Structure 1
Amino acid sequence: MPFPATCPHCRREQPVEFADSLIHDLKCPHCGGRFCLFVRKHKFEVLFDLGTQALLGGYAREAVASFAAALERFFEFYVRAATLERAAATGQEFGAAETLLDRTWRHVASQSERQVGMFALAYLLREGREPEFLGSQALGADFRNRVIHRGYLPPRTEVEAYAARVFALIDRLLGELGEGAGHAELAQERAFAAHLANLPDVVVAVFEEHPGMFRARRFGGAGLEGLGPAKSARRPAAPPPTRLNDAQVFGQALRERAPLLDRLKSR
């Protein structure tokens, strides 16, 4: 899903594909000006938004792949946030903790099942309870495997149900992370700062915050109706109450956020 980027030199737009790092070194095709665009968004957010756009555009099967990848990358986001939060609480220097985490993650980077195992342990250590939502049925793993690995062509209703399940889980876990998510935010800002420090003087740096399905939760604004605002780093011992079912949560977010995604795509 390309998005339009405005050249800071001549103010004209050009289409840009999301980079894996969300750092985009660009040269304007109109005036030749160079600029670097930093998008304050995480990979799981981009992937879920891509899935949403595919679903709305009628590409149901393609949407499943993006939603599944978004969940996997969110598990990594959670592990990073929880680990860096724990390191900060023990007085460990952030850069050293991040380096150690990166070196450790390399051992599981190509094995999704091991990544889920790391997430399960991180959740247990942080929340003090079992991640009961990790069963294959709860995660919709059988449906995902049928679509991605066995070529099943799903109807839109099944994809919407899967998307709702993934959305509700990510939304719940972001709420439980609360301020803890800020540690993963800081890691991204440090990566941006390192790239920015090496840019030539002629390159203009541009920072953008794009709308997305999880944007309100991520930045600590009011949560979806019935779910309340994002929780702080101090969590209750009991699981959070569920007032809306998965489909209702996803449907409400889709009504609220999808128009913003459309405007971003076509602006």
Structure 2
Amino acid sequence: MHFPTTCPTCAREVPAEFADSLIHELTCPSCGARYVVYVRKQKFEVLFDLGTRALLEGYAREAVASFAAAQERFFEFYVKAFALERAAGREGDFEEALAALDGTWRHVASQSERQLGMFALAYLLREGRAPDFLTPGALGSDFRNRVIHRGVLPRREEVEAYAARVFALIDRLLTALGPGAAQVELAQERAFAAHLAGLPEGVVAVFEEHPGMFRARRFAGPGGGETAPKATVGPSTPPLNDAQAFAWALAERGAWRGPLKRR
């Protein structure tokens, strides 16, 4: 999936394809300038936005795959946030903690069930209670498996319901993480800095923050463009259900200008 970038030399729009590292090395076809675009966004956010774009453009089955992948990558994000948050409270080097975390994650990188187990334990240790929301029904596992593994062609309303469930879970857990999420973002910034240090002379670095379903809600403060309540609210106010939360987020996202904005 592509997103537009602007050449810092001649201002021509140049399309870029999302890279797994979110580091994009580009050459302007007009003036030949070389530049690198660093996208400050987590992989689960990109995947969920790609799913939203697919859904809005009529590709319901493809959207399910992106939403399912976004949920799995968010569980990885949560585990890393918890581990780095704990490491930040102890003496030691952040890079060492990050290397130890990466080395541990490699043992489960290709096994989604073990990743889910790591997430369940991280949630228990951080929140002090069992993750009772990890049932197949709550996660929409049967629907996801029927679409992805059995080739079922879903109706749009089924995909919207699944997306709403995934969205509400991620949004709830992001809210619970609070400042803990900053540790993973710090790890991304360090990866960007390491790449930046190796750039040859004449290559321009461009840092971008793309709007998205979670980024708009997580980073918009009072008066900063947030137009809807969060999925998890105070005890005096009844929480939004999954469909309402997802609808609010779609409305918020439609108010932003960005590479994934609905046409």
> If the TM-score is normalised by the length of the shorter chain, which range does it land in?
over 0.9
1:63 aligns with 2:63: yes
Give the Cα separation in 1 of the matches to 2:48 and 2:66.
6
For 1:86-235, list aligned pairs within 5 A. 86-219=86-219, 221=221, 225-227=228-230
- Unaligned stretches of 5+ residues in structure 1: 232-238
For 1:216-255, list aligned pairs within 5 A. 216-219=216-219, 221=221, 225-227=228-230, 243-255=239-251
Q: 1:95 to 1:20 in 2, by over 3 A?
A: same
1:12 aligns with 2:12: yes
TM score, norm. by length of structure 2: 0.93
Post-superposition offset of 1:243: 1.1
Answer yes or no: is the 8 Å Cα contact 2:81–2:184 preserved in 1: yes
Answer yes or no: is the 8 Å Cα contact 1:39–1:208 preserved in 2: yes
Match for 1:34: what amino acid? R
Match for 2:251: what amino acid? R
Give the Cα separation in 2 of the matches to 1:266 and 1:224.
18
Give the Cα separation in 2 of the matches to 1:102 and 1:164.
30
- Unaligned stretches of 5+ residues in structure 2: none
Give the Cα separation in 2 of the matches to 1:50 and 1:261.
15
Cα-Cα RMSD: 2.3
Match for 1:36: what amino acid? V
Post-superposition offset of 1:92: 3.0
Give the Cα separation in 2 of the matches to 1:63 and 1:37.
26
Post-superposition offset of 1:201: 1.4
What secondary structure sits across from 2:37 in the alignment? Answer: strand
Q: 1:89 to 1:106 in 2, by over 3 A?
A: same
Q: 1:75 to 1:94 in 2, by over 3 A?
A: same
Q: List per-residue Cα deviations over 1:185-231 (Å, max 9, x = no partner).
A: 00000000000000011100000000100013332635774438999
1:32 aligns with 2:32: yes
Aligned length: 260
Post-superposition offset of 1:255: 1.2
Give the Cα separation in 1 of the matches to 2:182 and 2:173.
14
What secondary structure sits across from 1:214 in the alignment? Answer: helix
Answer yes or no: is the 8 Å Cα contact 2:53–2:260 preserved in 1: no
Q: 1:70 to 1:24 in 2, by over 3 A?
A: same
Post-superposition offset of 1:266: 8.7
- Percentage of identical aligned residues: 70
Answer yes or no: is the 8 Å Cα contact 1:124–1:130 preserved in 2: yes
Answer yes or no: is the 8 Å Cα contact 1:227–1:242 preserved in 2: no
- The worse-fitting range, judged by mean Cα deviation, of 210-219 and 148-157 is 210-219
